[in-house]
Structure 1
Amino acid sequence: MTISRRRTGRITPSRRALTSAAALTTAVVAGGLVAPAAFAAPSADAVIAEVYGGGGNAGATLTNDFVELANRGSAPFALDGFSVQYLPGSASASSTWQVTKLGGAVAAGSRYLVAEAKGSGGTVALPTPDATGTIAMSATTGTVALVSGTDALTCKTAADCAADPRVKDLAGFGGAVVREGASAAAPSNTTSIARAASLADTDDNGADFTVGDPTPTNSKGETTGTGPEEPPTAAKIHDIQGTTRISQFKDEKVGDVTGVVTAVRTFGSSRGFWFTDPKPDSDPRTSEGLFVFTGSTTPSVAVGDAVTAQGTVKEYYPDAPSTSNYQSLTELSSAQWTVESHDNPLPSPTVITADQVPDVLAPNAGGNIESLQLEPSKYALDFWESHESEIVSVTDARVVGPSNSYNELYVTTKPKQNPSSRGGTVYLGYDKINTGVLKVQSLIPFDQQPFPKVNTGDVLTGTTSGPVEYSSFGGHTLLASQLGAAKDNHLQKETTRRQRPGELAVATYNVENLSPADSDTKYAQLAQGIVDSLAAPDIVTLEEIQDNTGPANDGVVAADVTLRKFTEAIAAAGGPRYQWREIDPVNDQDGGQPGGNIRVCFLFNPSRVSFVDRPGGGPTTAAGVRTVHGKAHLTQSPGRVDPGNEAWTDSRKPLAGEFVFRGRTVFVLANHFNSKGGDQPTHGRYQPPTRSSEVQRLKQATVVQGFIKQLLTADPRANVVVAGDLNDYQFSPALAKLTAGGTLKDLIATLPPAERYSYVFEGQSQVLDHILTSAAPRGVDYDVVHINAEFADQASDHDPQVVRFRPSNGNPFADQANDFADALDQMAGRVAPRS
C-alpha cells in the first residue's frame, strides 16, 4: 500500500504530534525523511510577524488575506524598495513568486499591515492597511518572504532561498517545501500563524510560529474589533463541553472557568495543560476536562494547581474546518489564568474496564454526527467524546499495534474482542470495528522515560493514565503522564515451510518504496525475509519497487539498479540467483511517491521455473490472450493488463506473466490497486464514512476479472494466480467482484478468522494483500508469514504471503501421472525441474 498516512498513513504530522527535541532535527515529507531545511541569518529588525490566508473563505470572519510585519529593532526600518512575496507550499515547475510592493517604514517596536486578496465571504474588514496587494494565498500551506527588492524571487528550495541575499525573512507553513528550519504548523480558514509577542527569530519556522486567532494590526496600532471589549461569559467546563461534539460557546470568550491541573504538555508545538472541574455535574454526556492550548510556550502551571481561566473556546481541526473529515477537539485558546492554590488532590481518573466502551462505534447517521446528542452508553465515539480531556487509565493493556516512528502505539481495552492468533485484534467487517483499540502517546519527556519499543502481543503492565483527546491519526488517544512498563511477550517472526519438489511456490511482498536510496540494512532484512521466512519461493510478485533514483523526481523510470541490488542481497543471504521481469511505467503516471515510479515486478528462480518471454509488452501496450492447440497463452509476456483503461488512472497497472513449471503453464498477475487515500476515516465526524476510493478499486477488479475470464475461456483448466497488494479487505466490493462466479478463490478467506490479516493499521489487524487462484491448481497450501506488520522493527509495513500448489496439466490423467512422478521425486529428494 502506498502510504499517505493515511490510509496509509501520514503526509505531515499535525500540531498534535508529540515530538521530542531530537526528533525535530529532521522533517517528515510525503513518504520519507529528508535533511533539515536550510537556515538563513536571523533578522535583527524587520520580520514577518503574522500570515493569514483564509480571508473570505468558508467559515472565515475576516474578508481579506494579510501579511503583518514587525520591527524588533530600536530604529525605524525603511521599506521603500522592499516587497512581500508568496509561493505555493508545493511549488511546481510553473509556479512563480507573487509580489506586493511596499513603501514607507515600520517603526521600532511597531507593526505594518499588508492587505492581500479579498474573498467572497467574511464579514469583518481589516483595519486600514499600510500596503495593499492582490495575492490570493492558501489558507493552509505556502511561503511568504520579506524581500529587499521588487523583482520576483526564482528560488524553489529552502537552500536556494536561504542563499539569496535579497531574502530578509521567510515564513513557510503547512508543510511548505520552502521554509526556514521546520515548517510552521498548518493554519486554516479561521486561524493564522504568528510569532510570539517577543518576536523571537531563531530561523526555525516550526519553533517561531504558532497557530491561533488572526490579529491584524496596522502601523497605528488599530486592529479588528478595536473598542470596548465584551466581558467574557462565566462558564463551567461541563458547560463548555456540552452534550454534543461542538461547544455552545464556540468562538466566544468565556471566563471564571475553574478546575485543577491534571497534566501538562511541555514539549512540541502543541503545548498546554489540561484541567478538570472537581465538582462535576450529573450528566454523563458532559466532559469535565478541558485543554488549554499555549502553542510553543510551556505554560507556567503544575499538576495539582487550582486555576481560574478565561479565553476563547475553539474547536480545533487538523485541517480546514469546513471540509474536514475529522472530529474536533474543544479547547481554550488565547487563554489567561490565575493559579489560586497548589498541591490540590486530583480528580479520580475514569478507569477503563473491558466492558465499559460500547461495542458499536457510532450512530448510523448518514452524515455529520457533530450536532447529535451524545449517547456514551451506546456508541464508542460518544463515550470517548464524553470523556474528552479528562484523565482515564488502563491496566495491563495488551499492545495491538506496535511502536512506530511517531512514538505511538495501540492497546486494546477489550482483550476478548476479535483477538488474533498472535495478540492483535482482527478487523473482520465494516460493521465490526474493534472499539476497544486506543492509541497511546506520552507526555513524559523522552530523556526522562524513553518511549517503549513494543510489538503486538506485548503488554503495558500496571497503570497507564493521562488525558484522552481525539487525534486525526488513530482516533482517540491516551496521552500518558503515567506510562506502564513494557512486558515483552517474545513474539517471534514466522517462517514457512519449503515447497516440495512437485509444488510451485508463488509469493507476494510489498517492499514499501524500495529504491537504491534505502539502507543496506533494509535490503538485507527484505532479502532475509525472502530466503528464510518465505523459504525462497519460485516466483515472487513485488509491489512498490521504485526507479533507480527513488524519490528524486527527475524523469528516471528504469528500476534495474533497484532490482539488481535486491537480487544480489537475496543471493548474499543464501538464496537463489533470482531473475526479474517488469515493465517501466510512464513517468509519474502510476501514483505513489512523486518521482518514485513504483511498479509491480516478478522475481523467479530459473533453476525451478522458466519465464516465457514474448516481446511487445510496454507501458501503454495491452497484453492479450490467444489459444494454441486448445491452450491459453499471452500475446506479450510480460505484459500489462489494459493499461489504457481509466480504472488505472494514477495507479499501478497489473503485470501478466507466463511461466512454465515442470512442463505445466502457469499465469501470474501481479497487482497493486489504488490506495485508500481520500476515504473518510472510520473514527471521523461522518458516519458511516464514505469510502470513495472503493469506486476505482471496483473498476480495477472488473478489468482484472475480465482478463481472467479471457484466460479461462481459452483454457478452462488454466493455472492462474492473482497476487499483490489489492489495498482492500476480503469483505470489500473489489474482492467480491474478483471472486464472483467462482472463477477465483481468495485464499485469505480460507484461513480461520483469527489469522486473516497481513497489515496492522491504527491497531486493527487487517487484510490488504491477497493471493487468489483459479480452480485448476491442486493441493493448494497457503500461508501468511508474519514478519513485519506486528513488529516495531519492520523492513516493510506489509507481511508477505505464499501459496504452494501442484499446477494442472489440463488433463486429469496427465495430472495423475505427474502427481505419481512428483511423489517419486519427493521420496528421492529430487528437486531439479523436469522438462
Structure 2
Amino acid sequence: MRVLPLIATGLLVTAISPAAASIAAAQQAVRVHDIQGTTRVSPLDGQRVSGVTGVVTGVRAAGSARGFWFQDPQPDADPRTSEGLFVHTEEQTPQVAVGDAVAVTGTVAEHYPTSGDQTPENTPNQSVTQLTGATWQVSGTGAILPEVLTEDAVPVEHAPADGAIDSRELEPQRFALDFYESREAMVLRVDDARVVGPTDEYRSLWITSKPAQNANERGGTTYTGYADANAGRLKVESLLADEFPSAAVGDRLRGSTSGPLDYSSFGGYVLEAGQLGSHVPGGLRPETTRAQQDDELAVATYNVENLDPADEQAKFDRLAQGVVGNLAAPDVLALEEVQDNTGATDDGVVAADETLRRFTDAIAAEGGPRYQWRQIDPGNNADGGEPGGNIRVAFLFNPARVSFVDRPGGDATTPVEPVADGDRAALTVSPGRIDPANPAWTDSRKPLAGELLFHGRPVFVVANHFSSKGGDQPLHGRFQPPARSSEQQRTEQAKAVRGFVDQALAVDPQASVVVAGDLNDYGFSPALAPLTEAMTAPADALPPVERYSYVYEGNSQQLDHILLTGPHTADYDIVHVNAEFPDQISDHDPQVVRLRAAE
C-alpha cells in the first residue's frame, strides 16, 4: 500500500496524489515578490498559491475588509517588487497577531477600491494585490524592520504620463506612485512627521515625508501646479484602538509613525499605523484680518458649507464669530452654499429667508452689523448640490456702510445685463443672475450680480459657486495624467461671467467689478483663464505657496477667489480659520479684499 504525502493547507491536513504533491510543492515555492511582480497587477492574478511565507505586520480587525498584512523577511534584489501582501478575510476577524510567522494559502486577486457609483471595471483607482479565500499556519514568530521614508526617499516626479499604468513596469527610483506601489503592503516609517492635512471624522490625517516641499508659512504643503503633486504627502490611519490625535496642519507626530502601506479610494496610499508618533501641537491659530478704514470697501467671500435651519445653533454662532471677529465685519459678503429653509429635505421648498435670518441674527448677536441680504431663489433641484437643499449664492451687506441698488425683475430665469446709465454702467436688474439659461449652468449654481454704492460710486459684485470637481480622476489613480473632465463646464462658466464683465467694461471702461466666490479650481487652471486673463487677481501678489483656501488630501490649494477690475488699490487677505483645523465649521477659508478708490 502506498502512503500519500501530506500537505498542510491552513489548519487542515489533506491526503493528495503524487502528481498533486508536485504541483503543491511548486506552489509552495512562490514568494510574496513573485505574487506582487514588477507591475501594478500581479502576474499570478486569479491563481491559487500555497505556503506563501512571511511575518504578520498588521491586523485589520474591524469593518467589512478585515484581514492582515504580512511581509517576507527575505527580499529579492529587484526594487520593483513589493515584499508585502494583504490577506483579505472579508468580515471574519483573522486570528493572527503582529509578529506571527505564517504560511498562507489563497487565491491571488486584484481588488479595485471604489466609491460612489464606481465599479471595479470603471474606477480610476489603482488596485490592491491580495490573497482571498485564504487559510494559513502559524509556525513561530519573527520581526520586520520598517523602511524609513527619509526626505529624499520618495521621488519628486509624480507619475508616468502613459495613460493607463496598470501593466506598466514600475520605475520606483523615478516616480512617486511607482515608489509607493513597489512598497505596497510593506511596513514603512516616517519619523517626526509634520501634519499637512488635519484629522477628519474618519480618524485619518495627512503627513509629509518631505517637509520642505512647497511648504507654506502655516505648516502645510501647497499645490502650486499640475506638474508637482507633492510626492511627500501620505495619508495616515490607525490600526490601534487608542484615541486618534486631533491634529491641525503644522502639528507633528514626534517619534516614529509606522505600519503597512495600503491603498484606498479615499486618498490613495495610506499608512495603516501600528505605531503612532506622539502628537505635538504646532500652535496654529485661526487668523484675524484688520478692519477696513472709512474709505475702504471690504468685500469678502465665504463658503458656509450647506448652511440651513436644521443645523445646530453652534454652527451659526461659530460662522458669525468668524464674520465679526476673524473677518472684521466686511461691508459685503458673497456667501456660497446657503441652503433652503428645510435643508436637504426634498419637499419643493426653495426659499432661504429662514436660513439667512438665523445667520444675520447670529452675526448681530456677536456684536456685528445688522446685515441685510439679497438673493434669488433657484428652481427646485435645478442648481446641483445636496438633493433637496437648493444651495445658492447670496449677498449680505452692511446698510450703514453701503447701499444696495435694488432694480426689480430679477428671478431664476431672467438674465442680468450691464447697461449705460449716463456716463456709468448700471444693471438691468439687481440682484440678477448671469445668463441663467446658458447650458454652462446645468445642475450648477447661477452667479448672482448686485449693484451697490459706496461713497456714491457704483460697484458691481458677482457671487459665484462654479461646478464641482466631481468626476475628475484622482491624482493617485491608475490613469496618468488624470483626466479633469469637470474643467469643461467651469471653462464655459468662466466664459459666461467674463461676458458679463466685458459688457460692463464696454459701457464704462472704469467700472469696478468684483468677481468673488468658490470657483472650484486653481489659479493656475486653464478653466479659469477666461477670467484671470481679463481681471486682476490680488492673490497673485502673494507667493505661490501662500495662495490657498482649502486643504484636500494633504494639499493646500486655492479654490476660492476674488478678481477685480477698476481704478482702485486693493489690500487682500486669505483668512485661514477652517481648512487647516480638525474642528472646522466649514471646509473653506474666507477671504477679503479692501478697495480704495484711486486718486
Which TM-score applies when normalising by structure 2?
0.94
Aligned counterparts, 1:97-136, within 5 A: none
Matched, 1:737 2:533: no
Matched, 1:352 2:143: no
Task: Tell me the equivalent position of 2:379.
Answer: 586
Q: What SS does the aligned partner of 2:320 have?
A: helix
Q: Deviations over 1:195-244 (max 9, x none)?
A: xxxxxxxxxxxxxxxxxxxxxxxxxxxxxxxxxxx969442100000000
Which of 22, 41, 63 is equivalent to 1:268? 63
Task: Tell me the equivalent position of 1:747.
Answer: 538
For CA contacts below 8 A with separation 6 or more, give which structure has more relative contact order.
2
The residue type equivalent to 1:796 in the other structure is S
Which of 306, 321, 335 is equivalent to 2:134? 335
For residues 482 and 587 of structure 2, the distance between their equivalents in structure 1, rounded to whole angstroms, comes to 24
For residues 130 and 82 of structure 2, the distance between their equivalents in structure 1, rounded to whole angstroms, comes to 12
Which entry has the higher C-alpha Rg, 1 or 2? 1
For residues 262 and 532 of structure 1, the distance between their equivalents in structure 2, rounded to whole angstroms, comes to 49
CA drift at 1:303: 1.3
Q: What SS does the aligned partner of 1:782 have?
A: strand
Q: Deviations over 1:447-485 (max 9, x none)?
A: xx1000010000000000000011111111000000111
Q: What SS does the aligned partner of 2:545 have?
A: helix
8 Å CA contact 2:113, 2:126 repeated in 1? no
Matched, 1:689 2:482: yes
8 Å CA contact 1:440, 1:480 repeated in 2? yes
Which TM-score applies when normalising by structure 1?
0.68
Task: Tell me the equivalent position of 2:211.
Answer: 415
8 Å CA contact 1:664, 1:807 repeated in 2? no
Task: Tell me the equivalent position of 1:794.
Answer: 584
For residues 150 and 64 of structure 2, the distance between their equivalents in structure 1, rounded to whole angstroms, comes to 32
For residues 507 and 191 of structure 2, the distance between their equivalents in structure 1, rounded to whole angstroms, comes to 60
Aligned counterparts, 1:622-661, within 5 A: 622-661=415-454
For residues 591 and 746 of structure 1, the distance between their equivalents in structure 2, rounded to whole angstroms, comes to 27
Task: Tell me the equivalent position of 1:306.
Answer: 101
CA drift at 1:734: 2.4
8 Å CA contact 1:241, 1:330 repeated in 2? yes
For residues 91 and 312 of structure 2, the distance between their equivalents in structure 1, rounded to whole angstroms, comes to 34
Gap regions ≥5 residues in structure 1: 1-229, 809-815, 817-835
CA drift at 1:506: 0.1
Which of 258, 262, 269 is equivalent to 1:465? 258
For residues 433 and 108 of structure 2, the distance between their equivalents in structure 1, rounded to whole angstroms, comes to 55
Gap regions ≥5 residues in structure 2: 1-22
Q: Deviations over 1:781-801 (max 9, x none)?
A: 000000000001111000000
Which of 174, 190, 193 is equivalent to 1:378? 174
The residue type equivalent to 1:274 in the other structure is W
8 Å CA contact 1:261, 1:275 repeated in 2? yes
Task: Tell me the equivalent position of 2:247.
Answer: 454
For residues 129 and 92 of structure 2, the distance between their equivalents in structure 1, rounded to whole angstroms, comes to 19
Task: Tell me the equivalent position of 1:775.
Answer: 566
For residues 245 and 592 of structure 1, the distance between their equivalents in structure 2, rounded to whole angstroms, comes to 36
Aligned counterparts, 1:111-510, within 5 A: 233-234=27-28, 235-319=30-114, 320-341=119-140, 343-344=141-142, 346-365=143-162, 367-445=163-241, 449-510=242-303
8 Å CA contact 1:757, 1:765 repeated in 2? yes
Matched, 1:803 2:593: yes
CA drift at 1:807: 3.7
Runs (4 or more) in structure 1 with deviation over 4 Å come to none
Q: What SS does the aligned partner of 2:579 have?
A: coil
CA drift at 1:547: 0.3
8 Å CA contact 2:299, 2:331 repeated in 1? yes
For residues 641 and 240 of structure 1, the distance between their equivalents in structure 2, rounded to whole angstroms, comes to 57
CA drift at 1:752: 1.3
Q: Deviations over 1:470-522 (max 9, x none)?
A: 11111110000001110011101100000000000000000000001111111
CA drift at 1:705: 0.3
For residues 807 and 559 of structure 1, the distance between their equivalents in structure 2, rounded to whole angstroms, comes to 34
Task: Tell me the equivalent position of 1:5.
Answer: none
CA drift at 1:401: 0.4
Q: Deviations over 1:692-719 (max 9, x none)?
A: 0000000000010011000000000111
CA drift at 1:337: 0.7
Q: Deviations over 1:226-275 (max 9, x none)?
A: xxxx9694421000000000001112211121111111111222211111
CA drift at 1:593: 0.4
For residues 530 and 807 of structure 1, the distance between their equivalents in structure 2, rounded to whole angstroms, comes to 24
The residue type equivalent to 2:566 in the other structure is A
CA drift at 1:761: 0.3
Which of 492, 496, 517 is equivalent to 1:699? 492
Count how many residue pairs are aligned between Structure 1 and Structure 2.
571
8 Å CA contact 1:666, 1:807 repeated in 2? no
Q: Which moved more, 1:513-522 or 1:638-647?
A: 513-522
CA drift at 1:281: 0.8
8 Å CA contact 1:464, 1:480 repeated in 2? yes
CA drift at 1:775: 3.3
The alignment-based identity, stated in percent, is 61
The residue type equivalent to 2:65 in the other structure is S
For residues 252 and 620 of structure 1, the distance between their equivalents in structure 2, rounded to whole angstroms, comes to 60
Matched, 1:759 2:550: yes
The residue type equivalent to 2:556 in the other structure is S
Q: What SS does the aligned partner of 1:745 have?
A: coil
For residues 324 and 475 of structure 1, the distance between their equivalents in structure 2, rounded to whole angstroms, comes to 13
The residue type equivalent to 1:246 in the other structure is V
For residues 693 and 754 of structure 1, the distance between their equivalents in structure 2, rounded to whole angstroms, comes to 24
8 Å CA contact 1:719, 1:807 repeated in 2? no
For residues 215 and 450 of structure 2, the distance between their equivalents in structure 1, rounded to whole angstroms, comes to 38
Task: Tell me the equivalent position of 2:322.
Answer: 529
The residue type equivalent to 1:758 in the other structure is S
Q: What SS does the aligned partner of 2:363 have?
A: helix
Q: Deviations over 1:568-612 (max 9, x none)?
A: 000011100000000000000100000000000000000000000
8 Å CA contact 1:744, 1:775 repeated in 2? no
For residues 671 and 471 of structure 1, the distance between their equivalents in structure 2, rounded to whole angstroms, comes to 32
Q: Deviations over 1:331-383 (max 9, x none)?
A: 11110111112x32x12111110000000010111x10011000000000000
The residue type equivalent to 2:409 in the other structure is G
8 Å CA contact 1:289, 1:389 repeated in 2? yes
CA drift at 1:630: 1.6
For residues 466 and 421 of structure 2, the distance between their equivalents in structure 1, rounded to whole angstroms, comes to 31
For residues 717 and 278 of structure 1, the distance between their equivalents in structure 2, rounded to whole angstroms, comes to 71
